[in-house]
Amino acid sequence: MNGGEPVAAKIKQTIEPTFGQILAYAAPALPLAALALPFYVLVPEFYARSVGLPIATVGAVLLAVRVFDAVTDPLIGLLADRTRVRFGRRRIWVAVAAPVTAGAAAMVFLPPDGAGALHLLLWAGLMSVAWTALAVPYFAWGAELSTSYAGRSRVVAARETLTVLGTVVALLAQAAIPALWGGGQASALAGLALLVGLMLPAAAALAVGAAPEPADRSVSRLDLREGSAQMLANRPFRRLLAAFFLNGLANGFPATLFLFYVGDRLGASAYAGPLLLVYFLCGVAGVPAWLALAQRTSKHRAWSLAMLIACAAFVTAAFLGPGDAGLFLVVCVITGLTLGADLILPGAIQADVIDVDTAATGEQRSGLYLAVWSLATKAALAAAVGIAFPVLSWAGFDPAQGAASERGLIALAMLYAAVPVALKLAAIALMWRFPLDAAEQARLRAAIERRQAG
């Protein structure tokens, strides 16, 4: 027996979690998703329609929040990587940030009488910063739970399946709460604030108590300048980041405009909840197939195929109009089945790209990498809001003024469907020949473990 074998055995025991541990780690994803859907989909329309803010003002405030939040992502990622406490450098952030996130969300969802743009700016800003302090270490933790190509897909699949289920919970609560207690969208947001306020701290406690956190086994430390240079030199990272941003921007337009599209373009507001429910349930149903395809081929090819299928179906939404809710249901089913790939495979590839950096530098910097990806996600959503609302306003689409003009409805359809398809096609072009597959990732992990073993 050589001296490296005990080290290798120890590494395997530390980084390969059981199914129960994976589920415990994944638990916070459910309430986070239950929070994300109302924040990104309901809150813009609520502040435009019910609070009475001009749609361009809502877009400007949410854009400002995300620009401010952009500064915190890399800072929190760096701090999370450098945190040294016995409790765990990822666990401590999750435990502290979860209740703050839930509290700030309650203030966004429950604006007092007379609340205006300043209220939205302040509380949405705090919520976004706290969310970052929770999400960046949480996703970095997930990237470190397994070191195998397939194992990382299983970790992300569990987390993102609960993400979709959390979205379903939010959809059901959004429909059920007003039906039971009245009050429309305001009562739905109040009920979701209470639900998330209870679930998020509890789920975070389960994760930090039951899920393992692998020890930081970095063999070197880079300063910020050296680390940034090494990150920029990571070609797979740059390529994935570009595709990730383009796909995030493509997803951001429909997320922001869904209620407007279904209500004003299709004239089917009553079906908005059921359509979203079908979409997300199909996303859960599609996860096993995409996992199997990723193992049979590769993560990047499976993801590219899913985006291509989504494009073929979603482009038809640009040409639908009043009375076409049934056809749009078919679009929701097809694109929903591709959602599983869109959720699980980029996250699993992220962990592989971090291996390129770890092999080159000797430092495990998942927090900083996940912070940059978080920044890309937020930048994409901010760009979608910052582009969509001013363009709609310029085109004469303003829900506060009643019926929209034909020009405004055409702009809504193009922004909702045609623009995302073009963006996804660009992402496919970047990912189809991505250089990291199972064999290359195994080679990288072998090099990392040899270096860590000394």
pLDDT attached to residue 11: 43
Instruction: Give dist(CA 72, CA 75) in Å, integer.
Output: 5
pLDDT attached to residue 8: 42
CB 145 within 8 A of CB 207: no
pLDDT attached to residue 216: 79
pLDDT attached to residue 400: 64
pLDDT attached to residue 402: 64
What's the pTM? 0.83
Instruction: Give dist(CA 184, CA 267) in Å, integer.
Output: 18
Tell me the pLDDT of the chain (454 aa) as tens digits.
Answer: 344 444 444 444 446 889 999 999 999 999 999 998 788 778 888 888 888 888 888 888 988 887 787 788 888 988 998 888 888 899 999 999 999 999 999 999 999 888 889 999 999 999 999 998 999 999 999 999 988 988 899 999 999 999 989 988 988 888 888 888 877 788 889 899 999 999 999 999 999 999 999 887 776 676 667 777 888 889 999 999 999 999 999 999 998 899 899 998 999 998 988 998 899 999 999 999 999 999 999 999 999 999 999 999 999 999 999 999 999 999 999 999 999 999 899 999 999 999 999 888 888 888 889 888 888 887 888 889 889 989 998 888 877 666 677 888 899 999 999 999 999 999 999 999 999 999 999 899 888 888 877 6
pLDDT attached to residue 7: 43
Residue 101's nearest CA partner among 72, 124, 122, 79 is 124
Which CATH superfamily includes the segment(s) 15-453?
A: MFS general substrate transporter like domains (1.20.1250.20)
Instruction: Give dist(CA 394, CA 383) in Å, integer.
Output: 16
CB 241 within 8 A of CB 376: yes
